[in-house]
Amino acid sequence: MPEAIPGLHHVTAVGSDPVRNAAFYTETLGLRLVKRSVNQDDVSVYHLFYGDHGGSPGTSMTFFPYPDAAPGQVGTGQASAVAFLIPGDSVDYWVDRLAAEGVDADDPVERFGDVVIPFRDPDGLPLELVARADAPAGDPPEGPVPAEHAVRGFFGVTLSLSDAERTATLLEAMGFEESGSEGRRVRYESHGDLGYAVDLVADPSAPQGRPGAGTVHHVAFQVTEETQPEWRQVLMDHGLRPTEIIDRKWFESVYARTTGGVLFEYATTEPGYTVDEDLANLGERLVLPEWLEGRRDEIEAGLPALELDEAVSR
């Protein structure tokens, strides 16, 4: 078995208005727009990446913002919540900030001993802030949120399933170990310091998820270039049908639809978001992989305007 997977690499969701999406993730949540590109499978749509200062693995939340996307339904067969890690003493700061920014947020709850603030993005995507004293210092983005309170990256995801058994078996093969349960929620944790928690919630009576704005498209885990072919084999050994290795420019990827319905990706930590832009200028202009560069004029003409002010493109 290849070396255990430390945690998430990125999470990709479907949004609608790209300007509103960028404003929420950069101004309200204080993440950095680290990459501005297009959906490589539909170049009429942006692919926007928000992360820490350097876009480190385990920090990037990415979106396909289809301007006229119909709302989806969050439900089984999906990642039904995405959780970000904040420092343990930042709960009051974030409760106040979300309220001041008019964010659709719930009162904090306690889960596995941690304070969790549930909230939704402008498309209704369920998000959480999980406060932990052991949150790593990390590489916080510069911006509207002081570094001491900044989002550090992912804590993890919740997967909503009608039957969790085979997804649990796959997670265990990936190096995640069951660490506890609360009601229907069973937690699996790996060894990384970001994106290390995957909660499985099995509820056969829950509504079936339906893709659309405000839903997660796929969940990507960190692998290395050396182990990626071995993970492909592990997926096949679990009866799944992984894709070939696909070059995504900033990482190489293998995708597999899991038995529970959630699309998993196995993305390499290298070369990363600085392969085609300087660290200082990440996300400022539209970047295209070289195989799309010849179509730049046509692609730019087909994209909605995304003029972000200084605060957003910082």
The H-assigned helical ranges of 4-162 are 18-23, 91-100
Beta strands 78-87 and 126-132, pairing class? parallel
Contact flag: residue 174 with Zn ion (CB under 5 A): no
Contact flag: residue 158 with Zn ion (CB under 5 A): no
The residue (of 45 and 131) whose beta carbon lies closer to Zn ion is 45
Contact flag: residue 222 with Zn ion (CB under 5 A): no
Contact flag: residue 189 with Zn ion (CB under 5 A): no
Contact flag: residue 90 with Zn ion (CB under 5 A): no
Contact flag: residue 11 with Zn ion (CB under 5 A): no
In 121-223, beta strands by DSSP E? 126-132, 153-161, 177-182, 185-189, 197-202, 215-223
Separation CA 47–CA 62 (nearest Å): 7
The residue (of 43 and 115) whose beta carbon lies closer to Zn ion is 43
Separation CA 222–CA 98 (nearest Å): 30
The single residue among 34, 130, 220, 308 that binds Zn ion, judged by CB under 5 A, is 220
Contact flag: residue 14 with Zn ion (CB under 5 A): no
- Least Å distance, CB 218 to Zn ion, is 5
Residue type, 245: I
Compose the 252-271 pattern: x for residues touching Zn ion by CB under 5 A, - for all others: -------------x------
- Least Å distance, CB 275 to Zn ion, is 16
User: Please, are residues 36 and 295 in contact by the beta-carbon 8 Å criterion?
Assistant: no
The residue (of 10 and 97) whose beta carbon lies closer to Zn ion is 10
Burial class (CB in 10 A: 0-12, 13-18, 19+), 99: exposed
- Least Å distance, CB 307 to Zn ion, is 26
- Least Å distance, CB 220 to Zn ion, is 4
Element (H, E) at 166: helix 165-173
Q: Which residues bind Zn ion (CB under 5 A)?
A: 12, 220, 265
